[in-house]
Structure 1
Amino acid sequence: MNMQGWAEIALTIGLAALIGWPIGLYMSRVWNGERTWLDPVFKPVEGLFYRAAGVNPAHSQGWLGYTGALLAFNAAGFFLLYAILRMQGGLPMNPQGFEGLSPHLAFNTAVSFVTNTNWQSYGGETTMSTLTQMTGLTVQNFLSAATGATIAAALARAFVANRGEGVGNFWADMTRTTLWVLLPLSIILALVLVGLGVTQTLAASTTATGLEGGSQTLSLFPTASQLAIKQLGINGGGVFNVNSAHPFENPTPLTNLITAISINVLGWAAFFAFGRSVLAKKDVRALAVAALVLLSLSGAAMYAIETQPAPALVAAGIDASANMEGKEVRFGVPASVTWAVQTTGASNGSVNSMHASYMPLGGAVQMFLMQLGEILPGGIGSGIAVMVVMAVLSVFVAGLMVGRTPEYLGKKIEAREIQFAMIAVLVLPLAVLGFTAVAAVLPTALGGLLNDGPHGLSEMLYAYTSAAGNNGSAFAGLTANAPWWNTTLGIAMLMGRFVPAIAVLAIAGSLVVKPKLAPSTGTLPTHGPLFIGLVIGVILILGGLQFFPALALGPLVEHFQVLGVVAGL
């Protein structure tokens, strides 16, 4: 550990939140239909889409109509992407000559990209054609990210309304988020990345001659354009198997810094956009501070863990200043660790190092970040939406302690909201622990493990945590391209994405019809240090009670095994 490493971690996390603030203010104007400087460019395009689809953007939908539109749109996206994947071998722009995917892999991949998970049971450069990458996967990178934003926009309107009826128009929210936010930012970032050396070509490959005279065929893709939305959309799926550890995707320390910041910038922007939209900047800023504190502490813990030499090397008398196994040696431990906590704190899933090669406690931190609900800051909109659920639970707990009816952002919190809030937070342990328990005793599932014992359990636990949390990163070692894993991981992705989405929109539907209350002497302040501590406590208690026993059997046991082996040398 050194000051340079600490500064690198602080700079990356801090810049993401700082840059997210002005973008969030702009995003709020987009959600609210206010005038922006991009209106002359996109207003005509927006109107064309509405006329073609027969949509009246001024029509505000009830929560059931909004939810139905969201589910129908994503179902259509799934079936279209599934068809592209299955028929890939007969479609154009396939210079690699790749065949169509198997039914179970096509199902898993289509679900993965529609749910903003981007779990990949395949090697990108050996499986997906240029057409599939561009028109299938990249399109869903935009649409799945915009879907998350619509959830937050609808919830914000519910808090603002005073005995209202609708929560907005899904089609308008989806269109405006894609056109005004994701598209221009992705174009700018893609151009920057091309200028910094990231590849952007329709060619299938190129041949390179090595120093010793031998030749090697290197796969190529339009990488920069897909990398931009992969990070800004908090998606994470890469065109290359090693993701952002590949030099064509991440060639320099500067591209590493820029893309690492891009992982979280729109997640933080959604926090600030929500705060402006609900006219409660201080209250939502408190949620952002709670998330930032948890993320920063996790980054510090990971850095402390991974800058210690592996115990086995110490026992063998080998001089090692840090655990470099699995790290990106071009960038060092701080850049690898910062990326790891940002990608697991968000629902991103991209990697520039191999998570399974971290020390057992380092792997535990990564899993725990995802198990908190992907709220640090999580996906675009989906992160702040679940964080608001945590805030609702916090004021409910506080209300029980002091004997008062809980309120949050001017809305009374009653039994109906708490019931839906519990559905939103309990689906994650149901999917993760339920599927892991079955896989742990099923020979078909166990056949996919590279390791047995605690590390093998960690491989399974990480996979289902990543899937249900809509993260997409993987603990290397698990051979997931098999019917059992592709199918159950796909189901976990669907549960983790759409059950909380429906629950949050149901909360919005319940709140929108309620009167907007003015603060009273009995109202719990939700913007100060006391409330920040309460929210952090609720988040940690929920995550700890639900997942600590499983973590104890996996990475924690492995940690003590490592120490035991060393003691026996």
Structure 2
Amino acid sequence: MNTELLGIIATYGLTLLIGIPLGIYLAKMFAGEKVWTDFLKPLEKGIYKLSGINPEESMNWKQHMKALLTINMVWLVYGFFALIYQDKLPLNPDGNLGQSPDLAFNSIISFVVNCNLQHYSGESGATYFTQHFVFMFLQFVSAATGIAAAVVLFKAFRDKTTTSLGNFWVFFTRSITRLLLPLSVVVAIILAFNGTTTSYEGKDKYISLQGDTVNVSRGPAAGFVAIKHLGTNGGGWFGVNSSHPIENPNYLTNMTEAISQVIIPVAMIFAFGYFIRRKKMAWVIFGIMTLGMMLLLVPTVISETGGSPAIAKMGVSQLTGAMEGKEVRFGPTATAYWSTVTTIISTGSVNSMHDSAMPLTGMYQMIAMMMNCFYGGCGVGILNYFIFIIIAVFISGLMVGRTPEFLGHKVEAREVKIASIIALLHPFIILVGTALAAYTITYFPDASWAVKPASWLNNPGFHGFSEMLYENTSAAANNGSGFEGLGDNNTFWNVLTGFVLILGRFLPIIGPVAIAGLLASKKYIPESAGTLKTDTLTFGMMTFVVIVIIAALAFFPALTLGPVAEYFTLIK
């Protein structure tokens, strides 16, 4: 037990050791200061010239959003048709079939929005071609999209008053060439040398000890797995994700993958503070986010290492009971750490089966995605947190009787309305989606248009409700993990979560960038003795309270019907 605790402490410590200096590097790189990766400038100039981009052209926030949405639409159309016709494309040694239109619709939206909610089953639902040239490609560009959007927010607060917020294509390109691609090469090498497959050959055969012939899927997974974590994407090469022994062979690869999915979200916090020349603010935001993580991580570790009381009543040891749904390579403590970081961050990869977790662990996982702002995904984590900063500034301004201000710019009705809409959108789409699913399975259990909802749930009752709530929460939070007792590859779930994915991705990007652009264009107001300081621990705690209250008011009733009710049933 002590060794396992030391393992997760070492994992988190190494994450900070890499993430904080990486954030300082990103601040300098995006600000155009001299950094060691400047040798890549000729490559970037070639990309700009080939693409017809003028890197010197500055954009306002609306132009940034137009570029972002346009290119994402192009990727969506390209990927949709590639998935439908993947059986007719090369690099298909296992002879996988093309995806149905509703599955392709869900899959391509999921990867475009950085969620990777895999309703298809990994290696059996996609070919080597679509895994590489659709999914892996989108894992790079969707992560770069979020980072580029966050840098627009950075630019808005670096200068006192401005409408020139840099060039989206420059931020986007540098995110790939100077961050995602180099780190992916390093991580892929570590994985490959530890057993993660890199072969382009089809399934291999071996004879088991029982004399059975077993077909084992393989493929060039190492590079795919590297960017799936660095880009906080989460889509696995194999259907069971990082619980697969070829995708995540040993404890070293487990640590590498756990570190990979956290370093960029942590780095973006410090990049923000150093970019706008307010280092103290970065540390305050980091402290509040870390507090939120620890309040979820500690009870998760306790819950998972304690094991199931139902299994204990059968005379099974506590250690054996704690291993339900987990891999013996990692144990319950490392699994608990992974399940926390993968849900507070929009990675969604798994090294265990979340559906087998204790009821309260499932609740902590859902709360992490419902709050969706403790570290968060590449770029979008700081954007989500910014929404709560604006609401906290507004409430604090009312409390002290002053016009709310943030970094020298007045926060007025328009900005507060946008922030409020975005904050309420997240619970709205989760709860409405869950209500639609619960209504359909209750009143139309045999409906053909929903592919017999009665067959969705292998676990009726409280846990079945949790499965539907988790699926909508994961889609809205761009996470992608799931309670896999739910049969989700059908028309109803493919279409429902497809729309939840779109709304949960792009509006929470547009909202913060719009607020930042509007604030940046306003006249700068120098700080005075009466200015509410937003880089203090007091304001940080105010923001934390706002996050908790909004999440508690919105989601507690639904959590009571699912994991809380299941917990009390279990202990009874």
Pick the TM interval, shorter chain. over 0.9
Match of 1:150 in 2: 148
> How far does residue 382 in structure 1 lie from its aligned partner after superposition?
0.4
> How far does residue 309 in structure 1 lie from its aligned partner after superposition?
3.1
Name the SS of the counterpart of 2:247 in structure 1: coil
> How far does residue 388 in structure 1 lie from its aligned partner after superposition?
1.7
| Counterpart selection for 1:462 from 470, 479, 490 | 470
Amino acid at match of 1:454: F
**1:381 and 2:379 aligned:** yes
Match of 2:74 in 1: 76
Match of 1:312 in 2: 310
Match of 1:567 in 2: none
> How far does residue 511 in structure 1 lie from its aligned partner after superposition?
1.3
Distance 2:2 2:552 in 1: 31
Match of 1:509 in 2: 517
Distance 1:33 1:94 in 2: 43
**1:182 and 2:190 aligned:** no
Q: Within 5 A, what are the aligned runs for 1:126-165?
A: 126-165=124-163
Name the SS of the counterpart of 1:217 in structure 2: strand
Distance 1:382 1:125 in 2: 29
Distance 1:53 1:144 in 2: 18
Name the SS of the counterpart of 1:216 in structure 2: strand
Match of 2:32 in 1: 33
| Counterpart selection for 1:481 from 489, 492, 516 | 489
Distance 1:410 1:210 in 2: 68
Cα contact 1:167–1:512 (8 A) shared by 2: no
Match of 1:207 in 2: 205
Distance 2:12 2:534 in 1: 24
> How far does residue 137 in structure 1 lie from its aligned partner after superposition?
0.3
> How far does residue 561 in structure 1 lie from its aligned partner after superposition?
1.0
Identity of aligned residues (%): 42
Distance 1:116 1:145 in 2: 7
Cα contact 2:190–2:253 (8 A) shared by 1: no
Mark the runs of 5 or more structure 1 residues left unpaired by the alignment. 565-569
Mark the runs of 5 or more structure 2 residues left unpaired by the alignment. 445-449
**1:450 and 2:450 aligned:** no
Name the SS of the counterpart of 1:440 in structure 2: helix
In the TM superposition, what whole-angstrom CA distance separates every residue of 1:381-417 from its partner, at most 9, and x where no partner exists?
Answer: 1001111221221122111111112222232222121
**1:536 and 2:544 aligned:** yes
| Counterpart selection for 2:107 from 106, 109, 115 | 109
TM-score (structure 1 length as normaliser)? 0.96
Q: Within 5 A, what are the aligned runs for 1:225-244?
A: 225-244=223-242
Q: Within 5 A, what are the aligned runs for 1:9-28?
A: 9-28=8-27
TM-score (structure 2 length as normaliser)? 0.96
Distance 1:376 1:103 in 2: 35
Amino acid at match of 1:310: S
> How far does residue 213 in structure 1 lie from its aligned partner after superposition?
4.2
Cα contact 2:383–2:508 (8 A) shared by 1: no
Distance 1:13 1:366 in 2: 18
> How far does residue 175 in structure 1 lie from its aligned partner after superposition?
0.9
Distance 1:220 1:81 in 2: 23
Distance 1:355 1:105 in 2: 23
| Counterpart selection for 1:47 from 45, 48, 72 | 45
Match of 2:447 in 1: none
Amino acid at match of 1:506: A
> How far does residue 446 in structure 1 lie from its aligned partner after superposition?
4.9
> How far does residue 462 in structure 1 lie from its aligned partner after superposition?
0.1
Amino acid at match of 1:25: I
Cα contact 2:386–2:512 (8 A) shared by 1: no
In the TM superposition, what whole-angstrom CA distance separates every residue of 1:48-104 from its partner, at most 9, and x where no partner exists?
Answer: 221122211111111111111100010101111111101101111111111211000
Amino acid at match of 1:170: F
Distance 2:247 2:351 in 1: 10
Cα contact 1:454–1:557 (8 A) shared by 2: yes
In the TM superposition, what whole-angstrom CA distance separates every residue of 1:340-361 from its partner, at most 9, and x where no partner exists?
Answer: 0000010000000011111111
Distance 1:336 1:561 in 2: 24
Cα contact 1:24–1:272 (8 A) shared by 2: yes
Amino acid at match of 1:480: D
Q: Within 5 A, what are the aligned runs for 1:318-337?
A: 318-321=316-319, 322-337=321-336
Distance 1:121 1:17 in 2: 33
Greater shift, 342-351 or 324-333, is seen at: 324-333
Cα contact 1:13–1:296 (8 A) shared by 2: no
